[in-house]
Structure 1
Amino acid sequence: MLEESGLDAYQHTQLEARAASADPHHLVLMLIEGFMDELARAEGHIHAKQFDRKAKSITKCLDILSGLDTALDKDKGGQLAENLHQLYDFCGRRLFECSLKNDLSGLEIIYKIMNDLKQGWEAMAAK
């Protein structure tokens, strides 16, 4: 147990250090990567029938989606910001539905959307 909490503390510290030095594009990428990692954990918890842990992972995913949505500048972002808002909203609603039903197959569309967004952000950061 102590080793696990030590590893968690180390990973949290590393994440904070990366976030402190990241530009906005990289912060979004970090959030999307964190979302994808937590979604994979939620999927594993469903497989293992660890529903209390699944609930915590789903909550983290929803919090990340909320953070991504809140960061949108709808005045400057125009239609792009509105489209991202719609995608985040769809993913949140779909994730909630999948969680209620422990529906693993329903997670595929969420993975697809978030992976596509990740690739888009990576392409922008490369330019």
Structure 2
Amino acid sequence: MITTVPATASTVRAAGLYRRMQSESRAVASDPIELVTMLYDELETAVGVLVSMVRQGQRVSATEPAHRARAILIGLDVGLDHDKGGDVAVALSRVYRSMRRKLDDAVAANDADDLDELLGGIVTVSSAWRQLRQ
């Protein structure tokens, strides 16, 4: 299980502003692998915030973290280069679509355990992606 930090509206806004500023500065000098890594960072954060919100009894449908997580998954899928990526791109596309369905279902059900499970899958894929750097 992944440990999450309690989220309040003000801490979510402040953390979001900080992340955007940090991301913008990183993006200026980033290569494609770093840019995808940044998207994974944002995706992990958004889903982690959703887990915290649900565990605190909040409804998460139609929230900024839910929209952000979905948009990132769509962006990761759309950004795949199927010509160069071949079978790997096809497999990743399936993974991203599956994650999007799980996200939609978990958000609709307001289910922290399902969101936590999704977060575990995201961390697994993210870790594999980060190994490209090594």
Q: TM-score interval w.r.t. the shorter chain?
A: 0.7 to 0.9
Q: Is the 8 A contact 1:73 1:81 kept in 2?
A: yes
**Structure 1: unaligned runs, 5 residues or longer:** none
- 2:52 paired residue number: 44
Q: Is the 8 A contact 1:36 1:111 kept in 2?
A: yes
Judged with a 3 Å threshold, the aligned counterparts in structure 2 of structure 1 residues 52 and 115 are, in CA distance, closer, same or farther, namely: closer
Q: Is the 8 A contact 2:50 2:65 kept in 1?
A: yes
Judged with a 3 Å threshold, the aligned counterparts in structure 2 of structure 1 residues 6 and 92 are, in CA distance, closer, same or farther, namely: closer
Letter in 1 for 2:48: A
**Structure 2: unaligned runs, 5 residues or longer:** 1-8
Count of residue pairs brought into register by the alignment: 126
CA-CA distance at 1:17 after TM superposition: 0.8
Letter in 2 for 1:119: S
- 1:83 paired residue number: 91
Distance 1:25 1:70 in 2: 15
Q: Is the 8 A contact 2:54 2:60 kept in 1?
A: no
CA-CA distance at 1:116 after TM superposition: 1.5
In the TM superposition, 1:1-127 aligns within 5 A as 8-51=16-59, 55-126=63-134
Higher relative contact order (CA 8 A, sep 6+): 2
Normalising by structure 2, we get a TM-score of 0.81
The higher radius of gyration belongs to 1
